[in-house]
A and B are shown apart, each in its own frame.
Chain A
Amino acid sequence: MALRTHPTPPPTAESAAAAAAPCLEVRDLRVGFALEGGAVVQAVRGVSLCLDAGEVLGLVGESGCGKSTLARACAGLVPIGSGEVLLQGRPFARLPAGERRRLRPDLQMVFQDPYASLNPRMTVQETLGEALRVRQALAGAALRAAVAALLDEVGLTPEQAWRYPHEFSGGQRQRVAIARALATAPRVIIADEPVSALDVSIQAQIINLLNRLCRERGLAMLFISHDLAVVHHLADRIAVMYLGRLVEVGPAAAVIAAPGHPYTRALVSALPDPDPERERRRRRLLLQGDLPSPLAPPSGCAFRTRCPWAAPSCAEREPALESAGDGHLVACLRREEIAAMSAEKP
């Protein structure tokens, strides 16, 4: 397809190093927002993660946990406090705006609300055409063919290129937003709650589309959602975030089947099961209370105020991510005790 034969940059020492590095790497990232009156909200408090080529990393957490801020910081949309964001080995977030612009085609975002993220005054042809020309000087029939190919890839028809965003339904509009992200032939896509605003039947279509695109194009994707079940259908690995920190990262199957952090256990347990018999039989791990204010996170482990297993020691030390075997990392001081306790209980 014409799309994928965009000119690759000539090999240099820099790009050789980039080939070996992970697609996207985040090192000890901190992002804070200053409020009126001098207080600072630490939205992201020391997050490290790594995304390889062709891999889908699911990032789960509840509202206010900092997952969207993390996504925006990775894309260079909010200034970072400290730490690094490396795009194919290059310090993306720290580059001056001009240089970052040169790399931006490699990293694209899909947002939750395609109403807000597509320009209402541009037809799909104009929106996609503009993005396609970033990589290739296309015009006339060649440009129309490239747009048609993109639309076909996301399950829309070439005639729909002449419509405006308001003429599409929510699901179709999200397809346009995805086509828009693909137009620059990116290596990495950051998708922030792309299916949360969609109905179940349409949500399934978009999940399948993203799955297929990642496979076919070998894309790496950071997929952000509050819904663990949705993430489970897309992600190779899952990272769980709570109050600005990662509390668990690991292979998707392991995180779902054997969650190591009490918060992940609660998330798995809180998800309603559409099987009435299983749903009524099972015992839930119900949390008390709400998310604490990110302005004043609890000392030590931030989850301890809602954790059924919290002990006095949890208030003293902030737990670091430690290995629970096979690439599965858990940040809980009492991880082994809790695992032993819940193994005893049937």
Chain B
Amino acid sequence: MALLDVHDLTMRFHTRDGVVRAVEGVSFQVDRGETLGLVGESGSGKSVTCMALLGLVPTPPGRLEAGRADFDGTDLLSCGERRLRDLRGRRIGMIFQDPMTALNPCLRIGTQMTEVLRCHGRCSRRDARDRAEAALRDVGIQDAAERARGYPHQLSGGMRQRVMIAMALMAGPDLLIADEPTTALDVTVQAQILELMRGLQQARGMAMILVTHNLGVVAGACDRVAVMYAGRIVETGAVAAVFRQPLHPYTEALYRALPRLAAGPRRDLEAIPGQPPRITAPEPGCPFAPRCRHAAPVCREPMALRELSPGHATACLRRQRGEL
């Protein structure tokens, strides 16, 4: 059985300008020890999906319209705040994109780190401090004891993100949710952090949901991938299969639009025409159809993910009908 089984997650925001359908009927699974990449452009709903799982979407304006998320026998979406507090930080760790806003600037790093352990009890002050220092050493921070006495502003961006990772991993979670953990970092530091996360994950057999807009990061770090567009998953499958033979035109177009070194210099890119749709006024059918070069009248019918080969599913109606 999967460690996390998300079914039909639907989260909408009721605003003055209308209902924003941020996440619409999203379903996916994450097995133990596996990394699932959640890919999409801004506004595609990938961050809201993660926040919803952790009960971190402010309600109102957010409203959970439907869905279930079984984490090892508990439904995260209905279990209540007290049960969630017990799981968050202890069994589910999280890393956010911007380590400067996620860390408290007024507290020493050691204090913030031990807070997680002390909250979940069963740990003396000294024990907690030793474990925090060990966690800092695990993420490659030398002079851990000294760093733990310091404040976030005394660290570089890469170091702060290491602290976030150390903090998320300290309680030994079964699942780590990492929302764009390297996006704010320089490429050489991004490479270091990804390498570090990969090593720690393998050593601990932890499951991970890695949210990113970078297909290159997915290629290197994930086992499976779910591609999101306008609040829906449009394709999901093993990374190798999805990249070798994308079954949704959006995945294919996104892949082709990537700048890459393998191309010759000053080569034009295959851009995707048009703009992402406004999710306040969704048209029926496939949200990508207005930008899709394969669009046909059938694309206005309701769409759903369907498996075309084992583990590899697409929401493209024309692909499902064998027309592409």
A→B interface (CB under 8 Å): 56, 62-63, 169, 171-172, 199-205, 207-208, 211, 226-230, 232-236, 251-253, 256, 266-277, 279-280, 284, 286-287, 290-291
Number of interface residues of B (CB under 8 A): 49
Whether a CB of chain A sits under 8 angstroms from the CB of B240 is yes
Residues of A within 8 Å of B257, CB to CB, are 200-201, 203-204
With contacts A233-B269, A274-B243 taken as known, whether A256 is within 8 angstroms of B186 at the C-beta atoms is no
- Closest Cβ of chain A to B295, distance in Å, is 16
Assess the A200–B192 pair: CB atoms within 8 A: no
Assess the B188–A267 pair: CB atoms within 8 A: yes
State the CA gap A52–B156 with chains docked (Å).
Answer: 38
Residues of B within 8 Å of A199, CB to CB, are 41-42, 213, 276
Could you say which of A201, A207, A226, A277 has the most chain B C-beta atoms within 10 Å of its C-beta?
A201
Assess the A207–B269 pair: CB atoms within 8 A: yes
Assess the B271–A205 pair: CB atoms within 8 A: yes
Residues of B within 8 Å of A291, CB to CB, are 156, 186
Assess the B217–A208 pair: CB atoms within 8 A: no
In the A-B complex, list the 8 residue pairs whose CB atoms are closest, starting with the nearest: A272-B216, A204-B271, A201-B272, A199-B41, A252-B265, A62-B186, A204-B269, A270-B191
- Closest Cβ of chain B to A222, distance in Å, is 15
Assess the A268–B261 pair: CB atoms within 8 A: yes
Assess the A211–B266 pair: CB atoms within 8 A: yes
Binary contact readout B50-89 vs A (1 if CB under 8 angstroms, 0 otherwise):
0000000000000000000000000000000000000000
Whether a CB of chain A sits under 8 angstroms from the CB of B189 is yes
Residues of A within 8 Å of B240, CB to CB, are 276-277
Binary contact readout B243-272 vs A (1 if CB under 8 angstroms, 0 otherwise):
100000000011101111111111111111
Binary contact readout B170-196 vs A (1 if CB under 8 angstroms, 0 otherwise):
000000000000000011111110110
- Closest Cβ of chain B to A328, distance in Å, is 14
With contacts A204-B257, A279-B219 taken as known, whether A290 is within 8 angstroms of B267 at the C-beta atoms is no
Assess the B266–A233 pair: CB atoms within 8 A: yes
Whether a CB of chain A sits under 8 angstroms from the CB of B230 is no
Assess the B259–A273 pair: CB atoms within 8 A: no
State the CA gap A291–B155 with chains docked (Å).
Answer: 12
With contacts A63-B186, A204-B271, A287-B188 taken as known, whether A272 is within 8 angstroms of B266 at the C-beta atoms is no
